[in-house]
Structure 1
Amino acid sequence: MNIEPYIAQLLYRYQCVTVPGFGAFLTEIQSAQLIESSNSFFPPKKMISFNAYLKNNDGLLANHIAQAEKTSYEYAISAIQYEVFNWKKALQENGLFSIKNVGNFSLNADKNLIFTPFDQTNYLTNSFGLSTFVSPMVKREIFEQKIEALEENIQEEDVIALIPERRNSSKYLKYAAIFVLGLGVAGTIGYPIYQEQIASETILVQQSVQKQVQHKIQEATFFIKSPIPAVTLTIKEEKMSYHIMAGAFREEKNAQKTFRELSNLGYKARRIPQNKYGLFPVLYGSYATLPEAEKAKQEIQKSTNPDAWILVESL
């Protein structure tokens, strides 16, 4: 059985995909980039890295294979072990091997495992349909040259021919200026008189309205026939989308035991419902942002569990 396609499928959905007995593929979201030297735009993407020390089976890959192949969990584990055996054998004999759409593995001079990810596949689902874009450089010099060429083509007689028209129009401008000046003088005299008249009429109207309002207030009797219903405020809880996974157990009693132990150690531990693989997950805690979860994960890996990883899911 070829397990490579199943690894690629899980990288779209999870931040950590562990291959038992071999290592774990980790993903990190990289923001969109602009390279000015080449006018290239790159969409946000998931960067893949590999950690050879995370080898413990978390059940994710095996359960995914068992469901996709409609086989047992034990058979999926055997298939993974056989594939890992072939990978290690290829490294010993050839010094390298590839996982399709994920990356290449090789050994350096010190026999250390080197991972080189493929850049062609973007595992960030939010960037689906976005591709690298190269923008042509805007050349403004061409437009400036065209403008200069147009200015040079204007003949001297065309400029001179415009001068008489300007002189003829000056007569009409003279009369128009006198007319506008007259309007300004009339407006200066009449406007204050008009403003005083409007102000006096406004005061009279306001006084009349005030008298009517006071009269109505004195005569009014107020009854509330149907009281306004009480307002119910609903406070929306902030969703915690980042969770540090402590483990997923086939037996519920083991999950409950781990939950109690973590709670006694001071963690805000959680148990989430049984997943579609038949496992009972237990969390160290949940966080609203990725930086908070990363910080907590690093502390847990140093002090308690080196294999702790982050689950990204709205619970």
Structure 2
Amino acid sequence: MQVAAYISDLLYRHECVVIPNFGAFISRRVPAQYFESTHTLYPPKKGLSFNEQIKQNDGLLVNYISTVEKLPYEDAMQEIRNYVRFLDHEMDEKGEITIHKVGRFTRTAENALSFTPMYLVNYLPEAFGLSMQETYAIDRTAVPVEKPTPQPVASISKMEPAPSKTNEPVEKPVRQLETPASRSAAWVRAAAAVAILVAGSYAGLYSYQTQQFNDAVAVEEMANEQLKSKIQEASFFISTPLPSVTMEVAPIVKNYHVVAGAFRDPANADKKVTQLKALGYDAERIGVNKYGLHNVAYASFAERNDAINELYRIRKQGNDGAWLLSGSLKK
């Protein structure tokens, strides 16, 4: 029987799994870790440890084996005893034993069990599918960029004339180098030309928009004058007035009452109403019940939810004797 597989299954769902008469595996949550020395990121996991002092059977492993293998409880317990004897025998013979997917056991100089967990197995369900990630450092050293040195540009001021048919010497034009001052003057002239064009365009656009606005105002004034003349010419006469309409609105029926008390004597009921009104309640006598008692309400409502909310509020103020009455009473 693969008892090690059942131990591994339980470690996914429980924080403590006891092998009776051997020891207990205890798990705890370990957050994600980053090791700067190796640039490695590890996901969160369940860290395993072993406590040799916890040997008492808690029934978890036995019941699980009994359910999965469909064995009686005593037979499952016997399987665990056989497995523990196997572990002890291997430790005595080889000095170490490995439980698959759980960890490795060895003996210390004091003959105590030393446990090394299996780091490649992650028993944290939330981290399923996550694995170790290796990162790489980014070299952020700035690389200097060399700026090119501007070179002077030669320009030809005039075209060379065609050679003369005569033998007279022809004077050749001299090439002039373009200087920073000449380039600056050229830019100034170009900018001035652009500014003149923009100013002219803006002036034309402003003139056009102004004309459009004046035209719209004139049209609106003309329409207003025509409307006034039409109103002055018209006259309204109502020869037969409309008959008045009388509508009957059904009164709001408040059949939900937060009752403060019931009194045999009407005078006591009226006294209670006066006291509640002095405290700010919309109190009133709501009628006589079948026992002949006069009921006094803190307030009455048309909606049940409003009455329930008021009842809760009144009880929170210490009036535990308040209760809800539905329906109407005879006056």
TM-score range, shorter chain: 0.5 to 0.7
Q: Could you say what secondary structure the match of 2:138 adopts?
A: coil
| Selected match of 1:230 from 294, 302, 305 | 305
The one-letter code of the counterpart of 1:35 is F
Are positions 1:157 and 2:178 aligned together?
A: no
Q: Give 1:177 deviation, angstroms.
A: 9.2
Q: Give 1:23 deviation, angstroms.
A: 0.5
Per-residue CA distance 1:1-40 (angstroms, 9 max, x = gap): 2200000000000000000010100000011112222222
Hey, what's the Cα distance between the residues in 1 that align with 2:152 and 2:105? 76
Per-residue CA distance 1:80-120 (angstroms, 9 max, x = gap): 00010110111112111000111000001111110010100
The one-letter code of the counterpart of 2:150 is E
Hey, what's the Cα distance between the residues in 2 that align with 1:161 and 1:73? 105
> What's the counterpart of residue 3 of structure 1?
3
Hey, what's the Cα distance between the residues in 2 that align with 1:63 and 1:166? 94
Task: Give the structure with higher Rg (CA).
Answer: 2
Query: How is 1:21-100 mapped onto 2 (pairs within 5 angstroms)?
Result: 21-100=21-100
Per-residue CA distance 1:258-311 (angstroms, 9 max, x = gap): xxxxxxxxxxxxxxxxxxxxxxxxxxxxxxxxxxxxxxxxxxxxxxxxxxxxxx
Per-residue CA distance 1:220-263 (angstroms, 9 max, x = gap): x9976895552789xxxxxxxxxxxxxxxxxxxxxxxxxxxxxx
Return 5+ residue gaps in structure 1 as ranges: 184-220, 234-315
Per-residue CA distance 1:39-97 (angstroms, 9 max, x = gap): 22111100000001111111110111111112222111101000101101111121110
The one-letter code of the counterpart of 1:19 is I
> What's the counterpart of residue 214 of structure 1?
none
Hey, what's the Cα distance between the residues in 1 that align with 2:252 and 2:199? 67
Query: How is 1:67-216 mapped onto 2 (pairs within 5 angstroms)?
Result: 67-141=67-141, 144-145=142-143, 148-149=144-145, 151-152=146-147, 154-157=148-151, 167-168=188-189, 170-171=191-192
Q: Alpha carbons of 1:161 and 1:10: their partners in 2 closer, same or farther (altered >3 Å)?
A: farther
Hey, what's the Cα distance between the residues in 2 that align with 1:6 and 1:69? 10
The question of whether the paired residues in 2 share the 8 Å contact of 1:41 and 1:134 is answered with yes
Hey, what's the Cα distance between the residues in 2 that align with 1:36 and 1:64? 42
Q: Give 1:171 deviation, angstroms.
A: 2.1
The question of whether the paired residues in 2 share the 8 Å contact of 1:26 and 1:49 is answered with yes
Hey, what's the Cα distance between the residues in 1 that align with 2:47 and 2:151? 68
The one-letter code of the counterpart of 1:4 is A
Hey, what's the Cα distance between the residues in 1 that align with 2:152 and 2:75? 92
Q: Alpha carbons of 1:172 and 1:49: their partners in 2 closer, same or farther (altered >3 Å)?
A: farther
Q: Give 1:140 deviation, angstroms.
A: 2.2
**Relative contact order: is structure 1 or structure 2 higher (C-alpha 8 Å, sep ≥ 6)?**
1
The question of whether the paired residues in 2 share the 8 Å contact of 1:2 and 1:83 is answered with no
Identity %: 34
Q: Alpha carbons of 1:96 and 1:177: their partners in 2 closer, same or farther (altered >3 Å)?
A: farther
> What's the counterpart of residue 271 of structure 1?
none
> What's the counterpart of residue 272 of structure 2?
none
Q: Could you say what secondary structure the match of 1:109 adopts?
A: coil
Q: Could you say what secondary structure the match of 2:151 adopts?
A: helix
Q: Could you say what secondary structure the match of 1:26 adopts?
A: strand
Aligned residue pairs, count: 188
Return 5+ residue gaps in structure 2 as ranges: 154-177, 207-248, 255-301, 310-331
> What's the counterpart of residue 313 of structure 2?
none
Q: Give 1:173 deviation, angstroms.
A: 7.3
